[in-house]
Structure 1
Amino acid sequence: MPPTTPEFVAPFEALGRGDVARVGGKNASLGEMVGQLGARGVRVPPGFATTAEAYWRFLDHNALRPVIAEALSDLAGGRAALQDVGARIRQAILAAAWPEETADAILRAYSVLCARIGRIDADVAVRSSATAEDLPDASFAGQQESFLNIRGEDALLAACRRCYASLFTDRAISYRIAKGFDHMKVALSIGVQQMVRSDRAGAGVMFSIDTETGFDKVVLINAAWGLGETVVQGAVDPDEYQVFKPLLSEPGVQPILEKRLGAKAQKMIYAGPGEAPTRTTPTSRKEQSSYVLDDGEILSLARWACEIEAHYGCPMDMEWAKDGESGELFIVQARPETVQSRRSAGALNSYRILAKGAELARGLAIGDAVVSGRVCLIASPEEIGRFVDGAVLVTTSTDPDWVPIMKRAAAIVTDHGGRTSHAAIVSRELGLPAIVGTGDATQVLHDEQEITVSCAEGDQGFVYEGRAEFEVQALDAAGLPPTRTQVMLNLANPATAFRWWRLPADGVGLARMEFVVSNHIRVHPMALVRFDALKDEAARQAIAKLTEGYADRTEYFVDRLSRGLSRIAAAFHPKPVIIRMSDFKTNEYANLLGGAEFEPKEENPMLGFRGASRYYSPRYRDGFALECRAIARMRELMGFRNVVVMIPFCRSVGEADRVLQVMAENGLERGRGGLQVYVMCEIPANVVLAADFAQRFDGFSIGSNDLTQLTLGVDRDSGELAELFDEQDPAVKWMISQVLVAAHAAEAKVGICGEAPSNHPEFARFLVEGGIDSISVSPDSFVAVKQVVAAAEAAADAQSTPEPAV
Structure 2
Amino acid sequence: MSSGETPSKPSTDGTCLVHDFEDGRRSDISIVGGKNASLGEMICALKTEGVAVPPGVATTAQCYWQFRDWPNEEKDAIILAYHWLSVEVGVEDLGVAVRSSATAEDLSDASFAGQQETFLNVSGEQALLNACRRCYASLFTDRAISYRQTRGFDHLEVALSVGVQQMVRSDLSGSGVMFSIDTESGCDKIILINAAWGLGENVVQGAVNPDEYQVFKPFLNKPGVVPIIEKRLGGKEKKMVYSKGESSTRNVPTSKAERSVLVLNDLDILQLARWACTIERHYGCPMDMEWAKDGMTNQLFIVQARPETVHSVRKVGTFQEYSINTKGKTLTTGCSVGDAAVAGRVCMIQSPTDIDAFIEGSILVTETTDPDWVPIMRKAMAIVTDHGGRTSHAAIVSRELGITAIVGTGNATYVLHTGQDITVSCVEGETGYVYDGIANITSKTIDVSKLPRTSTEVMLNLADPSAANRWWRLPCDGIGLARMEFVVSNHIRIHPMALVHHDLIKDEAVKRVINQFTADYKDKSRYFVDKLALGLARLCAVAYPKPAIIRLSDFKTNEYANLIGGAQYEPKEENPMIGWRGASRYYSSDYKDGFALECKAIKRLREELGFTNAVVMVPFCRTVEEAVKVQNELAKNGLKRGEDGLQIYVMCEIPSNVILAHEFAKHFDGFSIGSNDLTQLTLGIDRDSGELAALFSEQDEAVKWMIAKAISRAREAGRKIGLCGQAPSNDPSFASFLVKCGIDSISVSPSSFLAVKRNVAKAEDGIEQGFTTVS
Partner of 1:758 in structure 2? 729
The CA deviation string for residues 88-139 of structure 1, in whole angstroms up to 9 with x for no partner, is xxxxxxxxxx222222221121111111111110100111100110000111
Question: Which of residues 87, 97, 121 is equivalent to 1:149?
Answer: 121
State the Cα distance separating 1:5 from its structure 2 match. 6.5
Superposition map of 1:236-251 within 5 A: 236-251=208-223
**Residue 152 (structure 2) pairs with residue 180 (structure 1):** yes
CA distance in 2, matches of 1:332, 1:762: 55
CA distance in 1, matches of 2:441, 2:130: 54
The CA deviation string for residues 38-57 of structure 1, in whole angstroms up to 9 with x for no partner, is 11110000111111111112
Checking the alignment, whether the CA contact within 8 Å between 1:203 and 1:321 is kept in structure 2 is yes
State the Cα distance separating 1:750 from its structure 2 match. 0.2
Question: Which of residues 329, 351, 364 is equivalent to 1:393?
Answer: 364
Partner of 1:449 in structure 2? 420
Superposition map of 1:403-418 within 5 A: 403-418=374-389
**Residue 311 (structure 2) pairs with residue 340 (structure 1):** yes
CA distance in 1, matches of 2:147, 2:14: 34
Superposition map of 1:497-516 within 5 A: 497-516=468-487
Superposition map of 1:630-709 within 5 A: 630-709=601-680
**Residue 138 (structure 2) pairs with residue 129 (structure 1):** no
CA distance in 2, matches of 1:337, 1:502: 18
CA distance in 2, matches of 1:450, 1:180: 34
State the Cα distance separating 1:478 from its structure 2 match. 2.4
State the Cα distance separating 1:623 from its structure 2 match. 0.6
CA distance in 2, matches of 1:666, 1:422: 46
State the Cα distance separating 1:541 from its structure 2 match. 1.3
**Residue 122 (structure 2) pairs with residue 113 (structure 1):** no
Partner of 2:533 in structure 1? 562
CA distance in 2, matches of 1:759, 1:439: 38
CA distance in 1, matches of 2:759, 2:593: 44
CA distance in 1, matches of 2:395, 2:60: 31
State the Cα distance separating 1:746 from its structure 2 match. 1.9
Checking the alignment, whether the CA contact within 8 Å between 2:194 and 2:213 is kept in structure 1 is yes
Partner of 1:84 in structure 2? none
Partner of 1:54 in structure 2? 63
Partner of 2:3 in structure 1? none
Partner of 1:32 in structure 2? 41
Q: Assess, with a 3 A threshold, how the Cα gap between structure 1 residues 466 and 681 changes in structure 2: closer, same or farther.
A: same
The CA deviation string for residues 733-775 of structure 1, in whole angstroms up to 9 with x for no partner, is 2212222222112211000012212333442111101110000
The CA deviation string for residues 285-330 of structure 1, in whole angstroms up to 9 with x for no partner, is 1001011100110011000000000000000000000000000000
Q: Which piece of structure 1 moves more, 323-332 or 732-741?
A: 732-741
CA distance in 2, matches of 1:544, 1:474: 46
Checking the alignment, whether the CA contact within 8 Å between 2:334 and 2:407 is kept in structure 1 is yes
**Residue 603 (structure 2) pairs with residue 594 (structure 1):** no
State the Cα distance separating 1:18 from its structure 2 match. 1.0
State the Cα distance separating 1:800 from its structure 2 match. 6.9
Question: What is the aligned-residue RMSD (CA, Å)?
Answer: 1.4
State the Cα distance separating 1:470 from its structure 2 match. 3.8
Partner of 2:186 in structure 1? 214
Letter in 1 for 2:58: A
Q: Which piece of structure 1 moves more, 734-743 or 328-337?
A: 734-743
Checking the alignment, whether the CA contact within 8 Å between 1:345 and 1:502 is kept in structure 2 is no
CA distance in 2, matches of 1:338, 1:178: 15
**Residue 242 (structure 2) pairs with residue 270 (structure 1):** yes
Checking the alignment, whether the CA contact within 8 Å between 2:325 and 2:441 is kept in structure 1 is yes
Partner of 2:302 in structure 1? 331
CA distance in 1, matches of 2:107, 2:301: 22
Partner of 1:783 in structure 2? 754
**Residue 268 (structure 2) pairs with residue 259 (structure 1):** no
State the Cα distance separating 1:686 from its structure 2 match. 0.5
Question: Which of residues 3, 7, 15 is equivalent to 2:24?
Answer: 15
CA distance in 2, matches of 1:166, 1:488: 52
Partner of 1:89 in structure 2? none
CA distance in 2, matches of 1:479, 1:768: 21
Partner of 2:337 in structure 1? 366
Question: Which of residues 104, 113, 120 is equivalent to 2:76?
Answer: 104
Checking the alignment, whether the CA contact within 8 Å between 1:124 and 1:148 is kept in structure 2 is yes
CA distance in 1, matches of 2:596, 2:325: 38
Letter in 2 for 1:635: R
State the Cα distance separating 1:535 from its structure 2 match. 0.9
Superposition map of 1:700-719 within 5 A: 700-719=671-690
SS in 1 for 2:450: coil
State the Cα distance separating 1:141 from its structure 2 match. 0.6
SS in 2 for 1:155: helix
SS in 1 for 2:690: coil
State the Cα distance separating 1:718 from its structure 2 match. 2.3
CA distance in 1, matches of 2:722, 2:313: 36
SS in 2 for 1:162: helix
Q: Assess, with a 3 A threshold, how the Cα gap between structure 1 residues 14 and 525 changes in structure 2: closer, same or farther.
A: same
Letter in 1 for 2:149: I
The CA deviation string for residues 229-271 of structure 1, in whole angstroms up to 9 with x for no partner, is 0100111110000000001110110111110111111010000
State the Cα distance separating 1:432 from its structure 2 match. 1.4
User: How much identity, in percent, do the aligned residues show?
Assistant: 66
State the Cα distance separating 1:275 from its structure 2 match. 3.5
Checking the alignment, whether the CA contact within 8 Å between 1:391 and 1:410 is kept in structure 2 is yes
Q: Assess, with a 3 A threshold, how the Cα gap between structure 1 residues 513 and 5 changes in structure 2: closer, same or farther.
A: closer
Checking the alignment, whether the CA contact within 8 Å between 2:206 and 2:392 is kept in structure 1 is yes
Letter in 2 for 1:664: A
Superposition map of 1:341-490 within 5 A: 341-490=312-461
Gaps of 5+ in 1: 63-97, 802-806
Superposition map of 1:186-205 within 5 A: 186-205=158-177
CA distance in 1, matches of 2:494, 2:676: 28
Checking the alignment, whether the CA contact within 8 Å between 2:146 and 2:374 is kept in structure 1 is no
Partner of 2:500 in structure 1? 529
CA distance in 1, matches of 2:528, 2:603: 13
CA distance in 2, matches of 1:459, 1:483: 31
Letter in 2 for 1:792: A
The CA deviation string for residues 384-414 of structure 1, in whole angstroms up to 9 with x for no partner, is 1011111110100001111111111111110
CA distance in 1, matches of 2:676, 2:67: 76
Aligned length: 761
SS in 2 for 1:167: helix
CA distance in 1, matches of 2:508, 2:18: 67
Checking the alignment, whether the CA contact within 8 Å between 2:32 and 2:160 is kept in structure 1 is yes
Partner of 1:723 in structure 2? 694
Checking the alignment, whether the CA contact within 8 Å between 1:476 and 1:783 is kept in structure 2 is no
Letter in 2 for 1:319: E
CA distance in 2, matches of 1:763, 1:233: 51
**Residue 26 (structure 2) pairs with residue 42 (structure 1):** no
The CA deviation string for residues 581-604 of structure 1, in whole angstroms up to 9 with x for no partner, is 000000000000000110011001
Checking the alignment, whether the CA contact within 8 Å between 1:578 and 1:643 is kept in structure 2 is yes
**Residue 258 (structure 2) pairs with residue 287 (structure 1):** yes
Q: Assess, with a 3 A threshold, how the Cα gap between structure 1 residues 710 and 264 changes in structure 2: closer, same or farther.
A: same
Checking the alignment, whether the CA contact within 8 Å between 1:489 and 1:778 is kept in structure 2 is yes
State the Cα distance separating 1:691 from its structure 2 match. 0.8
State the Cα distance separating 1:346 from its structure 2 match. 3.0
Partner of 1:233 in structure 2? 205
State the Cα distance separating 1:580 from its structure 2 match. 0.3
Checking the alignment, whether the CA contact within 8 Å between 2:54 and 2:168 is kept in structure 1 is yes
The CA deviation string for residues 640-670 of structure 1, in whole angstroms up to 9 with x for no partner, is 0111010000001110011011011111111
Question: Which of residues 136, 142, 145 is equivalent to 1:170?
Answer: 142
**Residue 329 (structure 2) pairs with residue 320 (structure 1):** no
CA distance in 1, matches of 2:285, 2:355: 36
Give the structure-1-normalised TM-score: 0.93
